[in-house]
Amino acid sequence: MRIPLISRILDTWPVRLSGRAARLAAAGTLLAGCGLQQDIDVVLPAYPPQLVVEAYLEDGQVPRLTVTESVEYLATPTPQVPTDVTATLLLPDGQRQTLRFAPGLDARTGKAYTHLGTQALTIRAGETFGLDLTDSQGRRVTGTATAPQPVPIDTVEWKFNDRPEEQREAYLLTRFRDPAATTDYYRLQIHRDSISREPEVEYTVEDRLNNGSEFSLGTSYRFDPNDTLLVTLYHLDRAYFQFLQSVEDARNANGNPFGQPAGIRSTVTGGLGVFTVLVYDRRRVIVR
């Protein structure tokens, strides 16, 4: 359910009016001064809380996921963490792995989680995993995710500008080859020092115009000499790509009175959020 943000914008424009435009502006000012403005109360519909999940599976990693509960759009954005959710991971061979409620912080990524698995996963391209969440209120969230084929990074290059030594900065260029037989989606992130920080650069792209050819994704001049950078190329499935695009659209529309409202395109059913398999190639480079 999408609840529109009701906002009032009061701007004063420093423009000079003349003729008919000036008379209309004066008339509007007089009408406003006569108390003809009327405030109205908008009754928002009831919003039933939904389960929200973030689950990213990686080869060689113990599965972790985060389950929270959604709140009304205008409510205080305080995370609501339900403690009665049973989380089950369905493995490609038909086995099931139960994730116990054990809130913690992933030191590698810096992300919080609520549920933790029992053993590391072995993931091969083309394998499909399932997720099943239930709680004591009868709510259920399900999802499936298939591991894409890895797409390796070919080269990571950089070049410094011609400014004086103390002002030198470098741009970065990442190249990789897109497979021709499939429709593919990518996410490129560049972190400084650690992936637990926010990325310095992030792109999401598809191969609609570059199918089967080389991709070259570059940055602006922004990196200092001796910067340690982690360059990560993710090969995404279509559902996760659309989720990322919808999140970006929602961020751009939030608080913008002229923007088109945008909803999140979840990859799960019965609730909100994302369940996907992360397949990526990562390079560590020192800009020298």
pLDDT in tens, 122-180: 999 999 999 999 999 999 999 999 999 999 999 999 999 999 999 999 999 999 999 99
Q: Spell out the CATH class of 51-146.
A: mainly beta
Q: Are 147 and 280 in contact (CB under 8 A)?
A: no
How much is the pTM? 0.81
Where is 21: in which H helix or E strand? helix 19-33
CB 50 within 8 A of CB 140: no
Amino acid, res. 2:
R
CA–CA gap between residue 285 and residue 157 (Å, rounded): 9
**Do the first three CATH levels of 51-146 and 153-262+280-286 match, i.e. the same topology?**
yes
Pair 276, 55: CB distance under 8 Å: yes
pLDDT tens for each residue of 19-38: 554 454 455 554 455 556 77
Kindly report the number of other CB atoms within 10 A of residue 185's CB atom.
22
Query: What element of type H or E holds 30?
Result: helix 19-33
Superfamily of domain 153-262+280-286: Immunoglobulins (2.60.40.10)
Alpha-carbon distance 274 to 278, whole Å?
12
| pLDDT-based confidence at residue 263 (cuts at 50, 70, 90) | confident
* DSSP assigned state of 231: E
Distance, CA of 97 to CA of 104 (rounded, Å): 19
pLDDT tens track for 210-233:
899 999 999 999 999 999 999 999
Distance CA 8, CA 79 (A): 27
Domain extents in the chain: 51-146, 153-262+280-286
Query: Which alpha helices (DSSP H) does the chain contain, by range?
Result: 19-33, 238-253
